[in-house]
Structure 1
Amino acid sequence: MSDTVYNKENFIQHLEVLKPNGYTLSNEGYYYKDEVNRKIRIFLDADQDFPFDVRFYGAGVQVCFTEVEQIFHQVWQNFSSLKFEHSLNAPTFKKGFRENVIGTSGYQFLLQNRVADTASFNEAFPYLNQLMNASVNFITQYTTLQDFYNYGEGLATGRERASFYNQPLPARKMIIKKLLNISDYSTYSTDVVNHYNQQPDVEEAAFLQALKNYLDTL
């Protein structure tokens, strides 16, 4: 551990070095860009131990498709006792980058070499820069709601899709299928509602039924 003081101000200064073109760095330490139909957030995952150091270990992308979250919110606000919260800025999709970008050796380097000053930041920089580039490249490659839906459908397992969609997945997937006019929307939404009607969470079942009723009017 370094004898120097490493506070949030130092942390933000180092994040500024990594800021992608076209993005703004928030005071909370994430990069954001708001477009017409989506809001993008990029995070560098870090354990913050001010005034000593931080430990970086990955990056994450969150994308809010505003039309999806507006519909979600329109119905959700009538179900205040649901176990999950919601805001109009909630992410629709999430994706993380760690060993899949920098390899096991890079990931272990970040875990074992905490950033406490400019010298240690410079040592971590190549890995952090790779993580940022992967995040921005993903956002550049996948731009539309259809792109993200297709990406999710192409994932190999249900667990991977559950990590890609912000939870609750069934509600968001119902909305997206409806907005994209996916042919199996009616079958999917009916199956979701029927499944949750057999579960003990009565409030969530009622929310999904109300959501389906709303979507069917669009």
Structure 2
Amino acid sequence: MIEQLEPPPRFTGHHPHFPQHHHANPTGQTSNAVNSSIVPIQPGEIGFDGKMLRKAMARKTVDYNPSIIRYLENSIWQRNITDGRSLQPDVLYIPHLVPPHALLSDPVNCVMTKFIRPATNKVRCPIFCVCWTPDGRRLITGASSGEFTLWNGLTFNFETILQAHDSAVRAMIWSNNEQWMLTGDHNGFVKYWQSNMNNVKVYQAHNDPVRGLT
């Protein structure tokens, strides 16, 4: 015969007191002793963090891709300059803007009247040569310290810095197939670079500074 199980009695009114046992950790200290030994860290005692001091800055982006795409689309049906569309001084014609070299009949487009912004490297030193990457999205600068700085062509912030030469970088050029980049420094050394900034060859071409490459 199965016995009926009754629920445990509920305590009403006065609750009995059950003793609490403090369990010791492996070091032999109780939990209360461990908690009392913890000292809270004050905000001023936190280590240096550059992100805490860095101010949020809204970067102005100059996106030239729409004008390039518009120029490529127009080149399908335009036979020459006379087939080009005339632009009027109105905001409705902004989507029809094309690069300056597409408007050879209007040389005033080549006059730069608006200054965008300066870009300063971490190490302030003269810049002797600059060149765009083959895709036109980044700008590479050669400094007197021998460093390459890779700049973003849209937001004008630097992406990476590379110590390329031991002396000042004097010349920089891309090959015709856009696969190799050649650089020359003040000591006469010439280096071959891949598109991922990997140096594959270096030799001393002259005893004097290299001023130009072709």
TM bucket (normalised to shorter chain) is under 0.3
Question: Which structure carries more helix by proportion?
Answer: 1
Larger Rg: 2
Greater relative contact order (CA < 8 Å, ≥ 6 in sequence): 1
Question: Which structure carries more strand by proportion?
Answer: 2
